[in-house]
Structure 1
Amino acid sequence: MPHLQETLDISSYAALGDSFTEGLNDPGVDGAFAGWADRLAGLLAAGRPQNRFRYANLAVRGRLLDQIAAEQVPQVERLQPDLVTFCAGGNDILRPGSDPDEVAVRFEAAVARLAANAGTVLICTGFDTREMTLLKHLRGKVATYNGHMRAVADRYDCKVADLWSLRSVQDRQAWSEDRLHLSPEGHQRVALLAARSLGLRTEQDPEAPWPAAPVLSPADQARENIQWAREHLIPWVGRRLRGESSGDHVEAKRPDLLPL
């Protein structure tokens, strides 16, 4: 059975962020999305007496860093959890003309507040986007932002889940049909990485080989790309042009620390 090292005792956990931490596109048993943070909570709770582990997930899809700092960070001051995971800034980096140096300054301000109100803070670096159709041109900006986040983690003694170095998520099977959000198994790989970053021993390996996937012919690949553009790319671009967010009118799925 997995267990934490004796130096890290976690009985309450609050997850902050955007769609990545909310859990798109990992369907949960109750109709809400699950995702890597829910899966991490399950690993942390394993082996504890019933109702001795509490979990909150404040993440909302589409949220920018300043929105997370204004809406979610103050809740941590109220909740005072043993652990906070803070994955934010990705939606800012996606925006044309964004400056990763400037985003990192605001990121550090939020981390400083979190570090004062949580026992442990874990941050996630950005993914390596070299294989991501929509985002490969942002690879340099993501790498720059990652460098800043690692420096912030050092200054505030944060744990780091290094998604950039997680080779398994370079596989197409780690991503859902929209190519922007993880698949259920992709979320599981991130949960395992986060757990190990906290010192949790896990039986499963986040870098375990993927099962063999069918190889698409060029014609089938072209049809898949056309379908993806119609169902996911065009609506995404439309929302950007209209100034809309996928998180408009969406509330946190688990706003309070409750037994898992």
Structure 2
Amino acid sequence: MGAGEKGRRRFVAIGDSFTEGVGDPSSVLPNGVRGWADRVAEKLAKAEPGWEYANLAVRSKRLRHIIDEQLEPALAMEPTLITLYAGGNDILDFGTDMDALLNDYEMLVAKLAATGATVVLFTGFDVKVSAILEPLKKRNTLYNQRVRALATKYGAVLVDYWCFEAYKDPRMWAPDRLHMSKAGHKYLAAQVLDHLDVPHKILPKEWDPPERLKLREWERRQRRWVNDWVVPLFGRKLRGVTLGDSLQPRWPQPVKVPRKGGLKKLVDVRMRSE
């Protein structure tokens, strides 16, 4: 992965909650999350000084929003590394036209690849949360097939998230069962860095086998999940609102990532200057 003009190194991440960092809470970082992309940016800067980083991803965004709101700002930053995950929210929507969605996705990938930057694409994981979402499995399979084909066509780096056995462990997922937990984000950061041949010391979480739940406890957790996450999710869909409606991108302009202290150091400096 080479540097840009005059040695410029700029990483721009675009997408939705997957890239924003939902599921990996932080009390100090923007939007209250950290996520795999922040971790990748920090390791890039540690391995090679001078990296800049912007993250335009916002939770709940559909592919059309990412194209309309994030594409042009990302291109204007002249990135040397771009990561894209988009379309997951569309797959969960009622009545999504998959042919139209994937055609728009290819258009987006083509524009990113035309910059000459290293482009990283992701397949989607087949999350086994409930029979409620099983009808969406066919859409996810179709999406993944197209992403793999486009990665080959446009010379992108493919992180085949669908294949990662580690995510079969429920502890890799946040309480909503749709977003990665802190451990899940760390694991994905390591995978991205490995695919980019960037040295790091992020180690996978070592756990004892998950406990086998008794039927009563399993039922209790299922009811709580439906009440806390599924019902509100479908309620928002019916009302036409999302969790990202009032949020701005976490790192809307490129920031130079400190080699020591990471992105939290930038927040500390800003707070002291205010």
Instruction: Say yes or no: TM over 0.5.
Output: yes
Deviation at 1:66, TM superposition (A): 0.8
Residue identity in the other structure for 1:158: A
- Which of 209, 214, 217 is the matching residue for 2:214? 217
Is the aligned partner of 1:244 residue 2:241? yes
* The one of 250, 254, 257 aligned to 2:254: 257
Contact 1:40 1:194 in 2 (8 A): yes
Counterpart secondary structure, 1:239:
helix
Could you say which residue in structure 1 is the equivalent of 2:163?
Answer: 165
Aligned residue type for 1:235: P
- 2:40 touches 2:192 (CA, 8 Å); kept in 1? yes
> Equivalents in 2 of 1:47, 1:98: separation in Å?
42
8 Å contact kept, 1:76–1:118: no
In structure 2, what residue type is equivalent to 1:221?
W
Three-state SS of the structure 2 residue aligned to 1:216 is coil
Secondary structure of the equivalent of 1:28? coil
Question: What whole-Å deviation, never above 9, does each CA across 1:61-97 have from its counterpart, x for those lacking one?
Answer: 1101011011101012210111000100111111123
Unmatched segments (≥5 aa) in structure 1: 1-6
How far the C-alpha of 1:205 sits from its partner, in A, is 5.3
Between the aligned partners of 1:23 and 1:156, the Cα distance in structure 2 is: 26
Residue number in structure 2 paired with 1:231:
228
Structure 1 CA distance, aligned partners of 2:70 and 2:256?
A: 20
Query: What residue is the counterpart of 2:39 in the other structure?
Result: 39
Contact 1:17–1:87 (CA under 8 A) maintained in structure 2: yes
Q: Distance in 2 between matches of 1:202 and 1:53?
A: 15
Matched residue type, 1:148: R
Going from structure 1 to structure 2, the CA distance change for 1:27 and 1:118 (only over 3 Å counts) comes to farther
Match for residue 191 of structure 2 among 187, 190, 193: 193
2:21–2:37 CA contact under 8 A, matched in 1:
yes
Q: 2: distance between equivalents of 1:174 and 1:113?
A: 33
Asked if 1 retains the 8 angstrom alpha-carbon contact of 2:47 and 2:199, the reply is: no
Aligned length: 250
Cα distance in 2, alignment partners of residues 101 and 192 from structure 1: 32
How much does 1:121 deviate? 0.6
Match of 2:102, as an amino acid?
A: A
TM-score normalised by length of structure 1: 0.90
- Judge which range, 22-31 or 244-253, deviates more: 22-31
Shift of 1:100: 2.7
User: 2: distance between equivalents of 1:37 and 1:204?
Assistant: 13
Q: Runs of 5+ in structure 2 lacking a partner?
A: 258-274
CA positional deviation for 1:60: 0.5
Partner of 1:30: 28
Output the CA distance in 1 between the equivalents of 2:176 and 2:139: 22
CA shift in 2, pair 1:231/1:202, >3 Å? same
* C-alpha deviation, 1:8, in angstroms: 3.9
1:41-64 C-alpha deviation (Å, 9 max, x unpaired):
122122333xx1111000001101
Distance across 2 between alignment mates of 1:156 and 1:119 = 11
- Residue correspondence of structure 1 range 1-260 to structure 2 within 5 A: 7-9=1-3, 11-31=9-29, 32-49=32-49, 52-129=50-127, 131-133=128-130, 134-204=132-202, 210-260=207-257
CA distance in 2, matches of 1:28, 1:123: 25
Q: Distance in 1 between matches of 2:23 and 2:253?
A: 22
Alpha-carbon distance change, 217 to 61 in structure 1, aligned in 2, over 3 angstroms: same
CA distance 1:136–1:45, shift in 2 (3 Å): farther
Root-mean-square deviation over aligned CA pairs: 1.8
Q: TM-score, normalised by structure 2?
A: 0.85
Q: Is the 8 A contact 1:36 1:191 kept in 2?
A: yes
Q: In the TM superposition, what is the alpha-carbon distance from 1:178 to its structure 2 partner?
A: 0.9
For residues 71 and 208 of structure 2, what CA distance do their matches in structure 1 show? 39
**Of Structure 1 and Structure 2, which has the larger fraction of its residues in helix?**
2
Identity level (%): 36
